[in-house]
Amino acid sequence: MKVVVIGGTGLVGSQVVALLTAQGHEAVPASPDSGVDTVTGAGLAEAFAGADVVVDLTNSRSFADDDVMAFFTTSTANQLAAEAAAGVGHHVALSIVGADRAPESGYLRAKVAQERLIHDGPVPWTVVRATQFYEFLPAIADSATSDGVVTLPTGAFQPLASSDVAAAVAQAAVAPASSTTIEVAGPERSAMDAVVRWALAAKGDPRTVVGDPEARYFGTHLDETTIVPVGDDAHLASTTLAQWTEQRAAAVAG
């Protein structure tokens, strides 16, 4: 099976390519560096020739509301049109758990618009919605830091390792197009401030983390359901934050 992975050199994409290759598939990473630009459409026809599946792991460089909306709608529309022309039979996209429950966030509104284009488009599809990655916890802390204090929402948070996201995406890519949304989340749920507090302490980061129910995350208020799975259908990954932290420390030490 030939699988083109748009964004195949990034954090998740490189792992998806490695997993699919190890399974014996022809996994082809594509990005602007390889001449494939989903916004202008350059290189899409050539990249998609003979492809069975396209995996979209692209992301906007700017998170400004208008920019991110323009990126996801233009990029997705261009991919779907090129896939239809090339006879691609399955479009897989990575999205975010709870995107449709956070309309105050311009980024998440853009992800909902992306999903809508996929749902209404000409190519059979599967959307994988994931919660936030362990790898992004430092950036979340940095974005919420003022004078050495990290102020974060107390709403529910259920992050996971990017390797578990990659595994879910790779599994979806080789399965038949389901025209459904699959959710994947971490094995542990806690308040966002508590998770980040633990993660910073584990790294020896001296910053104080303060929980504030009114603090915003990407412009949106978080409650107990906003960005975590609702119901029992989500796949819960196995790697805990403590295990991931230990693995990272061992890799650095080794």
Q: Which domains are present in the chain? A: 2-253 (3.40.50.720)
Query: What share of the chain in percent tops pLDDT 90?
Result: 94
User: Which residues face 156 on adjacent strands?
Assistant: 191
Q: What are the backbone angles phi and psi of residue 123, rounded to the nearest 5°?
A: -115, 130
Give the residue with greater pLDDT, 250 vs 195. 195
pLDDT tens, position by position, 121-164: 999 999 999 999 999 999 999 999 999 999 999 999 999 999 99
What distance in Å separates the CA atoms of residue 82 and residue 250, rounded to the nearest whole number?
A: 43
What average pLDDT score do residues 164-175 get?
98
- pLDDT of 251 reads 84
What is the Cα–Cα distance from 110 to 72, expressed in whole angstroms? Answer: 6
What phi-psi label fits residue 117: left (phi over 0), alpha (psi between -120 and 50 degrees) or beta?
alpha
In angstroms, rounded to a whole number, what is the distance separating the alpha carbons of residues 176 and 34? 28
What are 25-78's pLDDT values in tens digits? 999 999 999 999 999 999 999 999 999 999 999 999 998 999 999 999 999 999
The total number of residues shown for the chain amounts to 254
